[in-house]
């Protein structure tokens, strides 16, 4: 069997209702995993889980607000019951607020940190407690956090987002150290996706035009491509493939690190 095969593994993807999270859920299912989607968007998430089931996968939806401890406490037992365990958590839920420091809205900044930093941290907490010896899943596993190339570069108007994703980067390394020191049996890594031409990525491009940093969206996207050695934007599937790798036994000696999936932009 391929080291990349995930047959028998049970995965939860936060923010998995749409876009990158849905692509990650599909890639994990294609690799053989049973998948639960956790998201605020019940209708969209249910539909995404149904489409995975239509393609032959075992898939379920659970309502989850990653910022809310009580929501995690309700969701994790549901996932373990629906899938029969939990071996993989992908902390994908995230939001992006574009703003110059001079115009910063503190409430928007706090909300973004709540989702991106507190949400990811609560995900790790709940994964550790479920997966470690004696936990309700109890068989160890892998956590993959979705950071961003914004954690690696200095792009105007991304201070808050970059700060939140840099926090995800550091939290990943400390989580791996704690898991190792305390014998949880959970590997923890992150990926740094480059800009994707999906809703969030295109909104960012529109925002930087509105802020006055670029004359139009085409030039803004061209600016990002110009900073990318491979010369084009990445696709959601490129990011999802890296998550499958880090979740699999092919990455069994990899923990506490980050994998840039950015065409070389952050190098
Ligand atoms: N799109 C890009 O260019 C890009 C680049 C680098 C990194 N990322 C990261 O990838 C991840 C996914 O981004 P996307 O482009 O699919 O964005 P998206 O906005 O399409 O998807 C985010 C998902 O997270 C969910 N979500 C938001 N807050 C939540 C909460 N509190 N609890 C549970 N779910 C919540 C949303 O409902 C949505 O389904 C994010 O962490 C984002 O920061 C995106």
DSSP state of 249: G
From 95, 97, 164, the mutation candidate for ligand 1 (largest count of ligand atoms within 8 A of CB) is 95
Task: Find, among 209, 229, 214, 117, the residue nearest to 169 by Cα.
Answer: 117
Q: Is 148 in the pocket of ligand 1 (CB under 6 A)?
A: yes
Taking the centre of ligand 1 as the mean of its atom positions, its distance from the CA of residue 133, in whole angstroms, is 31
pLDDT, tens digit, 9 for 90 and up, residues 130-188: 999 999 999 999 999 999 999 999 999 999 999 999 999 999 999 999 999 999 999 99
pLDDT, tens digit, 9 for 90 and up, residues 78-89: 999 999 999 999
Fold of 10-196+234-261: Rossmann fold (3.40.50)
Q: Is 53 in the pocket of ligand 1 (CB under 6 A)?
A: no
- The CA distance from 26 to 38, in Å, is 14
Other residues' Cβ atoms within 10 Å of the Cβ of residue 117: 20
- Nearest atom of ligand 1 to the alpha carbon of 161: 43
- Nearest atom of ligand 1 to the alpha carbon of 149: 6
From 17, 21, 198, 201, the mutation candidate for ligand 1 (largest count of ligand atoms within 8 A of CB) is 21
Contact between 241 and 27 (Cβ < 8 Å): yes
Taking the centre of ligand 1 as the mean of its atom positions, its distance from the CA of residue 266, in whole angstroms, is 20
pLDDT beyond 80 at 1: no
Write down the pLDDT at residue 178: 99
* Average pLDDT score over residue span 91-111: 98
Q: Where are the domains of the chain?
A: 10-196+234-261
- Nearest atom of ligand 1 to the alpha carbon of 22: 16
| Burial class of residue 46 in the structure, from the number of CB atoms within 10 Å of its CB (0-12 exposed, 13-18 middle, 19+ buried) | middle
Q: What is the mean pLDDT of the chain?
A: 98
In the chain, what is the straight-line distance between the N-terminal and C-terminal CA atoms, in Å? 34
- The CA distance from 120 to 178, in Å, is 16
Query: Which residues are identified as catalytic?
Result: 161
Global pTM value: 0.99
Residue 68 sits at the vertex; the CA angle it makes with 248 and 34, to the nearest 5 degrees, is 30
Q: Is 210 in the pocket of ligand 1 (CB under 6 A)?
A: no
Taking the centre of ligand 1 as the mean of its atom positions, its distance from the CA of residue 56, in whole angstroms, is 25
């Amino acid at each position: 069997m391929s080291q990349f095969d995930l047959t028998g593994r049970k995965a939860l993807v936060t923010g998995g209702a749409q876009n990158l999270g849905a692509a990650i859920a599909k890639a994990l299912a294609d690799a053989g995993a049973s998948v639960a989607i956790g998201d605020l968007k019940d209708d969209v998430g249910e539909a995404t889980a149904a489409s995975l089931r239509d393609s032959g996968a075992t898939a379920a939806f659970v309502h989850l607000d990653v910022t809310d401890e009580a929501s995690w406490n309700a969701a994790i037992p549901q996932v373990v019951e629906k899938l029969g365990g939990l071996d993989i958590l992908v902390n994908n839920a995230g939001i992006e607020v574009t703003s110059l420091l001079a115009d910063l809205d503190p409430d928007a900044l706090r909300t973004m940190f709540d989702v991106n930093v507190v949400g990811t941290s609560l995900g790790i907490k709940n994964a550790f407690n479920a997966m470690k010896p004696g936990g309700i899943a109890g068989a160890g596993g892998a956590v993959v956090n979705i950071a961003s190339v914004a954690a690696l570069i200095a792009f105007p108007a991304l201070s808050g987002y970059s700060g939140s994703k840099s926090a995800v980067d550091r939290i990943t390394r400390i989580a791996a150290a704690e898991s190792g020191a305390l014998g949880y049996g959970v590997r923890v890594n992150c990926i740094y996706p480059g800009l994707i031409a999906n809703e969030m990525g295109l909104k960012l491009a529109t925002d930087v035009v509105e802020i006055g940093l670029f004359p139009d969206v085409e030039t803004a996207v061209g600016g990002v491509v110009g900073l990318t050695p491979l010369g084009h934007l990445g696709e959601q599937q490129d990011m999802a493939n890296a998550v499958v790798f880090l979740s699999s036994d092919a990455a069994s000696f990899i923990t506490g690190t980050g994998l840039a999936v950015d065409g070389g932009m952050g190098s």
